[in-house]
């Protein structure tokens, strides 16, 4: 750093002395001050005139005249360098800085307004300017709800407009983080078009994605392959649309897994291909749910409830929900129907829909019929009441047509229980 300062001082003194020797601009204080400032240096000799210069030096001298500096032709190919190129780098840096200093009075062109540095935070502004300032909402770095990001995310805003319930989506594991990483045009639009092509109605797209937001991250080609597999198994377009709408997770399953599920129900229940298809069309979540509860319910029906294999086939085919029913409720309903009401197995096999009814509803109506002396469930006897009539009819119809009583009588009876 000291060597650089000494070199800069030496060249500054030389320039001052040159000005004192004959340059148009003189230093204040004359040549004596220049000599004193540059003590130890001899003054520069006067610049030679044109007549004193050799002809081959004229061109360089002419181009080097003050106010008309330009490079000679030889400099274009790099064979000639001006006297500026011989200056030490610190001096050239100082000259460059001097040349780039802006004029404070100069007007800034319109195209350079974007380069104007921002105002200081301490700069005072008028009340009118303060009123016009609109503060952007701060994007939270971390939040437990997607609601805080809707105003900042075009993807979330469009999903809400589509009918997606973000309050339900964020309850699903990592679903909220997934939506924040997706671009609507790049990732989501193609999935929506695919679902519409499969047969999902426009008004069902929102509820569908609310239940299964993970499909938005699936590969489109893989989804098309799974639909093609279902078509190869002779599922019609309307049937596939019904299955996908009622079981939103269906298309997340690979072709191999779907094939294994269909094979399980066909072999485990001994159903034909046609009946197996009909079974999963009516309850498509059999293909997406866990198989352990299904296996347990089949064992309960056979071992604990005492149904034969062919009876189980008929019950499951007519009422697929029995495969996913709560085991405790299944046992309690069977116990009341079979042991209290005296309904035999073959009658339960004929009307398995009774297992889908609430046990309280069955108890209330059976006790009311018993109170009236009309609880008769044997088709071979007069005043026969089928299990379907017992559980499926609304209260008004049940009272007038089955119990032969008024709805007020039924309500009074229920209060005595």
Task: Characterize 60-81 residue by residue with b for buried, 16 or more Cβ atoms within 10 angstroms of its Cβ, and e for exposed.
Answer: eeebeeeeeeeeeeeeeeeeee
Rounded to whole angstroms, how far apart are CA atoms 75 and 89?
Answer: 20
- What percent of the chain is helix, strand and coil (3-state, nearest 5)? 65, 0, 35
What pLDDT score does 105 carry?
55
Q: What is the pLDDT of residue 269?
A: 92
- Please report where in the chains the tokens 């009311």 appear, as a residue: 368
Q: Answer yes or no: is pLDDT of 360 > 60.
A: yes
- CA-to-CA distance for 39 and 17, rounded, in angstroms? 11
pLDDT above 60 for 271: yes
Report how far apart the first and last C-alpha atoms of the chain are (Å, whole number).
Answer: 105
Q: How many residues make up the chain in this entry? A: 417
CA distances from 111 to 108, 116, 117, 173 (A): 8, 10, 14, 50
For residues 49 and 184, which has the higher predicted lDDT (pLDDT)? 184
**pLDDT band for position 118 (50/70/90)?**
low
Tell me: the pLDDT tens digits for 395-409?
999 999 999 999 999
Residue 342 has pLDDT above 80, yes or no: yes
DSSP code string of 234-288: T--HHHHHHHHHH-TTGGGS-HHHHHHHHHHHHHHHT--HHHHHHHHHH-GGGGT
Q: Evaluate if residue 34 carries a pLDDT over 50.
A: no
Q: What is the pLDDT of residue 128?
A: 77
* Chain segment 52-106, per-residue pLDDT in tens: 444 444 444 444 433 333 334 443 443 334 444 444 444 444 444 444 445 555 5
Question: Average pLDDT, stretch 242-257?
Answer: 95
Q: How confident is the model at residue 211 (pLDDT cuts 50, 70, 90)?
A: very high
Averaged pLDDT score across all residues of the chain: 78
pLDDT reported for residue 144? 54
pLDDT band, residue 150 (cuts 50/70/90): confident
Helices in 119-254 by DSSP H: which ranges? 127-132, 154-162, 166-169, 175-181, 189-198, 202-211, 220-232, 237-246
Spell out the residues 6+ positions from residue 316 whose beta carbon is closer than 8 angstroms to its own. 269, 279, 322, 323
User: Residue 79's pLDDT is what?
Assistant: 39
Mean pLDDT of 161-172: 90
| Whether the predicted pLDDT of 28 surpasses 60 | no
pLDDT at 30 over 60: no
| pLDDT bracket for residue 129 (50, 70, 90) | confident
9 pLDDT band, cuts 50/70/90, is low
CA separation for the pair 349, 316 (Å, rounded) = 9
Evaluate if residue 1 carries a pLDDT over 70.
no
């Amino acid at each position: 750093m000291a060597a650089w300062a000494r070199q800069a001082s030496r060249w500054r003194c030389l320039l001052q002395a040159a000005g004192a020797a004959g340059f148009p601009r003189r230093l204040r204080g004359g040549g004596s001050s220049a000599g004193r400032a540059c003590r130890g240096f001899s003054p520069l000799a006067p610049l030679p005139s044109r007549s004193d210069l050799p002809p081959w030096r004229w061109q360089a001298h002419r181009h080097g005249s003050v106010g008309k500096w330009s490079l000679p032709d030889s400099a274009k190919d790099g064979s000639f360098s001006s006297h500026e190129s011989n200056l030490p780098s610190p001096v050239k840096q100082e000259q460059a800085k001097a040349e780039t200093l802006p004029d404070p009075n100069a007007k800034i062109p319109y195209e350079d307004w974007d380069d104007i540095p921002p105002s200081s935070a301490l700069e005072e502004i008028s009340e009118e300017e303060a009123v016009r300032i609109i503060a952007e909402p701060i994007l939270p770095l971390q939040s437990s709800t997607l609601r805080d990001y809707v105003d900042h995310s075009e993807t979330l805003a469009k999903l809400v407009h589509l009918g997606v319930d973000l309050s339900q989506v964020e309850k699903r594991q990592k679903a909220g983080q997934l939506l924040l990483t997706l671009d609507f045009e790049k990732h989501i639009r193609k999935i929506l078009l695919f679902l519409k092509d499969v047969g999902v109605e426009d008004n069902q797209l929102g509820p569908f994605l609310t239940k299964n937001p993970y499909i938005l991250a699936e590969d489109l080609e893989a989804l098309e392959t799974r639909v093609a597999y279902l078509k190869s198994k002779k599922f019609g377009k309307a049937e596939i649309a019904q299955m996908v709408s009622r079981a939103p997770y269906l298309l997340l399953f690979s072709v191999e897994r779907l094939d294994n599920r269909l094979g399980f129900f066909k072999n485990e229940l001994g159903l034909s291909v046609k009946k197996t298809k009909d079974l999963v069309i009516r309850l498509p979540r059999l293909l997406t749910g866990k198989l352990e509860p299904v296996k347990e319910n089949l064992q309960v029906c056979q071992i604990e409830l005492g149904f034969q294999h062919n009876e189980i086939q008929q019950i499951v085919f007519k009422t697929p929900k029995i495969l996913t029913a709560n085991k405790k409720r299944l046992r309690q309903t069977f116990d009341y129907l079979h042991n209290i009401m005296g309904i035999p197995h073959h009658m339960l096999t004929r009307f398995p829909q009774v297992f889908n009814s609430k046990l309280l509803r069955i108890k209330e109506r059976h006790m009311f019929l018993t109170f009236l002396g009309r609880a008769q469930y044997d088709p071979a006897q007069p005043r026969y009441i089928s299990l379907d009539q017992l559980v499926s009819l609304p209260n008004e119809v049940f009272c007038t047509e089955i119990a032969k009583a008024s709805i007020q009588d039924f309500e009074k009876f229920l209060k005595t229980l």
